Amino acid sequence: MEYDSRNFIQKLFGMKSREQKQAEREASAEYQAIETSSMTLVIKEGHTDAAQLARAQKVGKIIGSIITYGFLLFMSVIILFPFYWMIITSLKSTTEIRGNVQTFFPVTVLWSNYITVFNTFDFVTYVGNTLIVGVISTIGTLITTILAAFAFARLNFHGKDLIFSILLATMMIPGEMMVITNYITVAKLPWYEFGHGMVNGWLTYKDSVFASMIVPFWVSVFYIYLLRQNFKQIPNELYLAAKVDGKSDWQFLWKVMVPLAAPTLISIFILKLMGSWNSYVWPQLVTAKDESWRLVTNGLRSSFSTSAGEPQYGIQMAATILVTVPLLLLFIFFRKYIMKGVGRAGIKG
């Protein structure tokens, strides 16, 4: 196969094959003039002796790792540079950012951008809201995901393929399209509010507004897909053994499969939390009534929009950094789990 392709390329570019080159060399006058009779033969093991071989390998290895590290370092610079720029921009004044000369380090380090961000919204309240919404919607998602993934991975039923295909197809529709209808839906669904009784619509009181930020996000087809792959890797023998032990499907799911898939579940937990942390459009819409119910990105964005005048890039970047750092810390702490869990995606069982 490879030989064929080389042949093809040689033909394509009019290159000469190794045999042709050897024949040409032999035909040349110099080759003819070599005195073979006066040559002496030196015998060696292989091309080189053992010491030479080891040295060559070592040199090759060093060069290889220099190239590897060089490449990684270069890519790291490219990856990190915008991030670095974000940090120094957050410490610059607007005049300096928009100035004619770009500086690699702020002329005057301006911490006031961060103070301004803290003043534009109640950071602590918003982070609190985000955690409540994030954690509850994540737990809900985990439950629905585990149940659905188990059904898809282990159980047989009519229409399984069809439903799974439809589920996957929903990933192909831009979510923006659903916002209007869903908003009208949550505005009309009934809700029981303590102290108020049954109310119509989820948009009037705090609990129900939080519910509207949580319940619609209890399903994620993406994570069902991810977890199903994971469940499928769990050997069938375990399932059969559990059956022999008289364990029900339910027990098997929670006692065997869930613990085995723990890394994936943890990474789903974190990825979903990141999603809540970054969600903006929907929370902005449903918390229209009261600003103190909003999530952290809404606060971030309110420091983006100034009704009049110049966009304050420094403040925007400071706000961005404030919301990015917690996520980064989360990743650093849970890196192992995320790597383990996410890595299984795409392995068909």
Partner 1 sequence: MKKSKLLTGVISLIALTTIVACGSTTPTETTSSKDNTPTVSENMVDPKVPEDLKSLSCEITFWHTMGKTNQGTLDTLITDFNKAYPNVKITHSQQGGYDDIRDAIAKAIPAQTTPTMAYCYPDHVADYIPSDSVVKLDDYMNSKKIGFGVDNGLGDNGVDDIVATYLDEGNHYTKNGEAYPGYYSLPYSKSTEVMFYNKTVFDENGWSVPTTWDQLWKLCETIKATYPEVTPFGYDSDANFYITYCEQMGIPYTTGEGKEHFLFNNDQAKNFVTKLKEYADKGYWTSQAILGSGTYTSTKFTAEELLMTVGSTGGTTYNYSENFEVGVAAVPQADLSKGKVIMQGPSITFFSSASMNERIGAWLFYKFITNTKNSAIWSVETGYNPIRTSSFQEDIYKNRTGTGKATLVKAVADYMSTSDYNKWYYTSPAFKGSSAARLEVGSLMGAVMLGTKTVDQAFSDALANCLFAA
Partner 2 sequence: MANVLGKVKDFFGGLFKRKERVSADAGERNNWKAWLYLAPVIILLAIFTFYPLINTVVIAFLKNYNYTTGLSDGFTFDNFLNVLTLAGRTTTQETIYRWNTTYDAVTKTYTGIDSDGIACTVYFQTDVIKYALPNTMLITFITVPASIVIALLISVCLHSIKAFQKIFQTIFFVPYVTNAIAVGMVFAVLFDSKGILNYIFNLGDSFFWIDRAAPWSHGMIALCIYIVWHSLPYKILIFLSALQNIDKQYYDAAKIDCAGKFKTFMNVTVPMLSPQILYIMITSFIGSFKEYTSVVGLFGSPSTDGGSTKNMYTIVYYIYDCIKQPDTVARGAAAALLLFIIIMIFTAIQFQVSKKRVHY
Should residue 245 be labelled a site residue for partner 2 when binding is judged by CB under 8 A? no
Question: 307-316 burial, b for 16+ CB within 10 Å, e for fewer?
Answer: eeeeebbbbb
Quick one: how far is CA 69 from the chain centroid? 23
CB atoms within 10 A of CB 84: 11
Interface with partner 2 in residues 266-325 (CB under 8 A): 274, 278, 297, 300, 313, 316-317, 319-320, 323-324
CB of 2 to partner 1, least distance (A): 39
Point out which residues bind partner 1 (CB under 8 A): 94-95, 98-99, 119-121, 158-159, 161-162, 166, 179-180, 183-184, 187-188, 201, 203, 284-285, 287-291, 301-302, 305-311
Report the distance separating Cα 294 and Cα 288, nearest Å: 9
Nearer to partner 1, 43 or 162 (CB): 162
Should residue 255 be labelled a site residue for partner 2 when binding is judged by CB under 8 A? no
- Write the secondary structure of 69-104 as one string of H (helix), E (strand) and C (coil): HHHHHHHHHHHHHHHHHHHHHHCCCHHHHCCCCCCC
CB-count burial class (<10 Å; 0-12, 13-18, 19+) for 213: buried
CB of 17 to partner 2, least distance (A): 20
CB of 256 to partner 2, least distance (A): 14
Interface with partner 2 in residues 144-163 (CB under 8 A): 144, 147-148, 150-151, 153-158, 160-163
Segment interacting with partner 2, rule: CB under 8 A, options 30-38, 172-180, 202-210, 254-262: 172-180
Report the distance separating Cα 55 and Cα 318, nearest Å: 52
Should residue 264 be labelled a site residue for partner 2 when binding is judged by CB under 8 A? no
- Partner touching 284 among partner 1, partner 2, none, CB below 5 to 8 Å by kind: partner 1
Report the distance separating Cα 103 and Cα 181, nearest Å: 48
Structure tokens that stand for 227 in this block: 């977890």
CB of 23 to partner 2, least distance (A): 27
CB-count burial class (<10 Å; 0-12, 13-18, 19+) for 305: exposed
Please select the residue that binds partner 2; options are 62, 75, 115, 262, rule is CB under 8 A: 75
CB of 143 to partner 2, least distance (A): 7
- Partner touching 24 among partner 1, partner 2, none, CB below 5 to 8 Å by kind: none
* SS percent in the chain: helix, strand, coil, step 5: 70, 0, 25
- Partner touching 238 among partner 2, partner 1, none, CB below 5 to 8 Å by kind: none
Interface with partner 2 in residues 36-65 (CB under 8 A): 64-65
Quick one: how far is CA 43 from the chain centroid? 58
- CA nearest 315: which of 295, 334, 301? 301
CB of 281 to partner 2, least distance (A): 10
- Partner touching 215 among partner 2, partner 1, none, CB below 5 to 8 Å by kind: partner 2
CB of 316 to partner 2, least distance (A): 6
Structure tokens that stand for 175 in this block: 């979510």
Nearer to partner 1, 191 or 252 (CB): 191
